[in-house]
Amino acid sequence: MTDLPSRRLLLVHAHPDDESINNGATMARYAAEGAQVTLVTCTLGERGEVIPPALAHLTGAALGAHRLRELTAAMAELGVTDFRRLGGDGRYADSGMMGLPDNDDPACFWQADVDEAAGHLLRVIQEVRPQVLVTYDPDGGYGHPDHIQAHRVAMRAVELAADAGCAPAKVYWNRVPRTAGEDAFARLRRELPRLPFREAAALADVPGVVDDERITAEIDGGDAYTAAKAAAMAAHATQIEVHGDFFALSNELAQPVFRTEYYELVRGERGETGVLPAGGGDRASGRETDLFAGIAGIAEEAS
């Protein structure tokens, strides 16, 4: 692939909708700034629970096809044009929640050979040459088998890419700092009487919550990129109901839409970190505010 943008970001996710919930503002920001943003989704989410009654008939392959259309609409909201399925559409099936018989389906992602699946991702890395890769932690954020497997495949692909001389310079895991989560849920509880959701989720329901000191980078979506994130989440209508700054999954438990997205650097060197704005603010001193910070040879494309 020739004429690549100087900044290239690869995100590896388990199902359609995970990318918008976790990284929608980040993806929108970098796409708007001219970076190459590539999303690899490992399954089509064929076993997801459907929220709207009018779509409740969708199951299996039909649901997967519908969720792919939702993903296409979500990427349009984020300005992302390069989004792929690992190994091609339908190569790996949704594994269902942990402990269910679905996990034993030979076609599901949980049963995939990690090296084989990582080989598919390696080919994307060799084509796109991302300097930054984002994925889940070893628990997949909250223990879903497809999220755990996405972590394993992504990290193995990074190893293979290192052997091939094309490894990303930096690898981040999706995170939420505990204090930011506590603040967001306190605001949610105040707003809950005015929301259409039956009750609030708990902070423990949010994937990737860790102590604040684990956070090494944060991307503030501001108004524009947060709005794009919310619109992308709403495009995943089978899975997400969005109302203002809050949303719910099929359990109908309200959660906040995080306008700032947080990361833990697990491979590579930290770059220049942000500083506290005059008069204070939410930006934590010592955290990167650009995932590409410190990578040599990158031309600034942001306005």
Quote the pLDDT of residue 273: 66
Confidence at residue 277, expressed as pLDDT on a 0 to 100 scale = 38
Please give the C-alpha separations between residue 199 and each of 189, 210, 254, in angstroms, as whole numbers.
Answer: 9, 24, 6
Residue 225: CB atoms within 10 Å: 24
What gap in Å lies between CA 294 and CA 149, rounded to an integer? 29
Q: What is the pLDDT along the chain (303 residues), one digit of tens a residue?
A: 468 899 999 999 999 999 999 999 999 999 999 999 999 999 999 999 999 999 999 999 999 999 999 999 999 999 999 999 999 999 999 999 999 999 999 999 999 999 999 999 999 999 999 999 999 999 999 999 999 999 999 999 999 999 999 999 999 999 999 999 999 999 999 999 999 999 999 999 999 999 999 999 999 999 999 999 999 999 999 999 999 999 999 999 999 999 999 999 999 999 976 544 333 344 445 899 999 999 987 744 443
Q: What is the pLDDT of residue 283?
A: 45
Chain centroid offset of residue 53 CA: 27
Tell me, what's the pLDDT at 2?
60
* CATH class, range 8-286: alpha beta
* Nearest CA-CA partner of 83 in 39, 129, 21: 39
What are 188's two structure tokens? 């949610």
Task: Say what the pLDDT of residue 285 is.
Answer: 58
Checking phi first, is residue 222 left (phi over 0); if not, alpha (psi -120 to 50) or beta?
left
**Domain layout of the chain by residue ranges:** 8-286
Residue set of the binding site for Zn(2+): 15, 18, 147
